[in-house]
Structures are given as structure tokens and as C-alpha cells.
């Protein structure tokens, strides 16, 4: 392994609660007839259901799809069910949601940065591992998050020096994780077999696997038994924080 490409949310940053809150606020603006009240931000049961569906999506607009399914009690047991429901949602609504989601996120960060950062703690053990092993591999980020938020959080986590700008690809620099990995391979002059890609979503690993990169599911992220079982069946490494270093760096 010469390059370790990492997803951000669910791998470096524990940011699901922030995504849930921002998504609810954007959804309530764009779908004012929603039965989901402002108090839903503190509804632990709703959050758990939101979290369960998160591995089935890819970008911010997927949060709108999840919320639409939750308010209609529409079950999303697997990727096929999710994709079918996604196709039913108005694409214009999703486009507006995507824009408003990021506007609200940046407004919150500017207005109350301490409050915003508090909802996105780092996975401290993993950040320590990256600092310890940063001389052993090229570190890069392939994320669907926005660059501004990623850079702010890397600074907050003490990781900014490990990820120069050219090693951070965000939602604007590729429509898929596959395009991100293709870019890194070309930029660094590497074969795909020299790259390890770590994500907490199986559908992202599926998107990259045919390139020939080694794919690893971060089991500390936003996935559960369903995704971990699928990952193992497909032949991906499924790593926990306590065994990641040994299985990925020292194998």
C-alpha cells in the first residue's frame, strides 16, 4: 500500500448527528407540510432510524430521501428498496435540498462555530493512528462532504498538515468515489493495487472495487450488521478501530 484514501464522515469524523439536524432544518423549510416537528432534532428514535438508512445514500440530497421515507413510514430494508424510493422523489426538490443543506451548514458554522463543532467529534483513536503512521503512506481524503467543512474540521482535529489541499477531493471534484480514486492514481502515478480505500458505506466500496484498489469497510462508521455482512460476502476487509492498524498497515 502506497496511498491510503479515506472517506471523511464515518471514518475520520463522527458527524452523523450534525447531518441529521441540518437535514431536518432544510427539510422543514422545503417541505413545510412535513409532520416532522422542530423537536424531532432531539428524537432519539427518529435519529436511530435515520442512522440506519444512512449507509444506503451517497450525498446530501439522500438525507431528504431518508426523511421523506421516515415521515411516510416507508421501509428501506436494502439498497434496492432505497433506490426505488429515491426514484419517486421529485428531483427538483432534491436539488433545492442539496443547496439549502449546505447553506444552512455554513450559516450555522459562521454563527455558532463552537456549537457546530461540538456535534462532530473526531474518532480520536483513528486520528492518532493517522498521525503515528503518516510517514508510512500517502494520506488522502475522498469525500462527498464540502471542502470548507472538511478543512475546518481537519484544523480542529489537528490533522490539517497531514492532508494538503491536493490530497482532499470533495463533492465538487468528482461525482463518485471511483472518480476520486482514479484521480489519485493518476496524480501520484500509482497503480490501483497500490491504493487502499476506506469508507463506511458498502455502496461506495462497490463503486471503487472494480478498479482493483483494496477496499476496507470502517466498522466504526455509520453501518451495522446488514452492511458488514454484505461487505464480508463481497470480500472486503471489515475493520474495527482496534484491529485496523494491524490488518491494513501491518499485513
Report residue 68: phi and psi, to 5°.
-60, -40
What residues contact 174, with CB distance under 8 A and at least 6 apart?
142, 180, 183
At 52 the pLDDT is 94
- Mean pLDDT per segment of 10 residues, for the chain of length 251 residues? 97 97 97 91 95 93 97 94 96 97 96 96 97 97 95 97 96 87 97 98 96 98 93 97 94 69
Q: What is the pTM of this model?
A: 0.93
Instruction: Tell me the domains of the chain and their CATH numbers.
Output: 3-14+122-249 (3.40.50.1000), 16-118 (no CATH)
At 26 the pLDDT is 97
At 250 the pLDDT is 80
Residue identified by cell 437535514 is 23
At 38 the pLDDT is 86
| Cα 202 to Cα 116: distance, rounded to the nearest angstrom | 28
**75: helix, strand or coil:** coil
At 173 the pLDDT is 83
Amino acid at each position: 500500500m502506497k496511498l491510503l484514501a479515506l472517506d471523511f464522515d464515518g471514518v475520520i469524523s463522527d458527524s452523523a448527528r450534525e447531518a441529521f439536524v441540518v437535514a431536518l432544518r432544510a427539510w422543514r423549510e422545503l417541505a413545510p407540510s412535513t409532520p416532522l416537528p422542530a423537536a424531532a432534532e432531539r428524537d432519539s428514535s427518529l435519529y436511530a432510524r435515520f442512522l440506519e438508512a444512512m449507509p444506503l445514500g451517497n450525498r446530501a440530497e439522500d438525507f431528504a430521501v431518508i426523511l421523506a421515507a421516515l415521515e411516510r413510514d416507508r421501509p428501506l430494508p436494502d439498497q434496492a428498496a432505497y433506490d426505488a424510493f429515491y426514484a419517486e422523489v421529485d428531483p427538483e426538490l432534491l436539488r433545492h435540498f442539496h443547496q439549502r443543506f449546505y447553506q444552512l451548514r455554513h450559516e450555522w458554522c459562521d454563527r455558532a462555530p463552537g456549537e457546530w463543532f461540538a456535534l462532530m467529534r473526531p474518532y480520536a483513536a483513528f486520528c492518532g493512528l493517522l498521525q503515528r503512521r503518516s510517514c508510512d503512506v500517502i494520506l488522502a481524503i475522498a469525500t462527498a462532504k464540502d471542502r470548507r467543512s472538511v478543512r475546518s474540521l481537519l484544523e480542529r482535529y489537528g490533522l490539517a498538515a497531514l492532508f494538503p489541499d491536493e490530497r482532499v477531493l470533495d463533492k465538487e471534484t468528482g461525482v463518485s468515489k471511483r472518480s476520486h480514486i482514479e484521480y489519485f492514481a493518476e496524480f501520484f502515478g500509482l497503480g490501483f493495487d497500490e491504493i487502499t480505500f476506506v469508507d463506511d458505506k458498502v455502496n461506495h466500496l462497490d463503486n471503487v472495487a472494480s478498479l482493483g484498489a483494496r477496499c476496507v469497510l470502517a466498522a466504526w462508521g455509520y453501518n451495522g450488521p446488514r452492511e458488514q455482512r454484505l461487505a464480508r460476502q463481497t470480500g472486503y476487509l471489515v475493520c474495527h478501530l482496534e484491529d485496523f492498524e494491524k490488518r491494513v498497515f501491518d499485513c
